[in-house]
Amino acid sequence: MPVTLTDEQAAELRTRLSQAETNRQIAEAASKLWNDPERGNRAKALWKEQFPDSDLAEYDVEQRINQRLDREAQERRDAEKAAREREQDEQLARNRRETQERYKATDDAMTRLEKMMIEKNVGDYEVAAQHFFSREPQPSDDAGFDSQFWHHDRSDLFKEITADPEEWGRKEILKTIREGERREQGGWR
């Protein structure tokens, strides 16, 4: 037997059917979004943000694993960065020490060199040292001189010349002639 509905009941039934269809479409769209490989985690993250006590077992485990992997990767990057910085510091110290030994520079001279390196934006000790020490040469060592006198008698060359001046002059002349002949013949031998 057919059932007769009043206009109000029919309108309510139509509203319920329309709402059911809308709910079905929303559920279908939510399901697609929830299970989407690219956007699913964002949807679950939003869900957890709105409902923090909800149980999303797979998502929670995945997030803990991702957090652990991120933390380990960050620790690894930090350790690598610290190792690189330590290696750079050791290399700088080694370069500084080698430059100081090569140029026989005092600590004060090295401090002034480093100040100049900062001012001139020079990052290489060797380049900076060549410039710096060419402009600020070190005083020569004793080398037979004192404040007033040249101690020529301490020089080996002077002793050789004074032992036999004619022989020394003859050797120098012959050496010069041989060098001239070699140049004329096309090179040094």
Cα–Cα distance between 128 and 103 in angstroms, integer? 12
pLDDT at 142: 55
- Is the pLDDT at 116 greater than 80? The verdict is yes
pLDDT of residue 81: 96
pLDDT at 41: 81
Rounded Cα–Cα distance for residues 54 and 57 (Å): 9
Summary mean pLDDT of the chain: 84
Q: Tens of pLDDT along 68-106?
A: 999 999 999 999 999 999 999 999 899 999 988 988 888
39 φ/ψ angles, rounded to the nearest 5 degrees: -105, -10
Dihedrals phi, psi of 130, to nearest 5 degrees: -60, -45
The average pLDDT across 16-32 equals 85
**Does the pLDDT at position 54 exceed 70?**
yes
178 and 184 Cβ atoms separated by less than 8 Å: no
Which structure tokens are listed for 169?
């002059």
Burial status of residue 113 (CB atoms within 10 A of its CB: 0-12, 13-18, 19 or more): buried
- Residue 30 above 90 pLDDT? no
- Report residue 41: phi and psi, to 5°: -65, -35
In sequence order, the β-bridge partners of residue 150 are 145
pLDDT of residue 158 exceeding 70, the answer is: yes
Q: What is the mean pLDDT of residues 123-132?
A: 87
Looking at residue 7, its amino acid is D
* Pair 98, 110: CB distance under 8 Å: no
Q: Is residue 188 pLDDT above 80, yes or no?
A: no
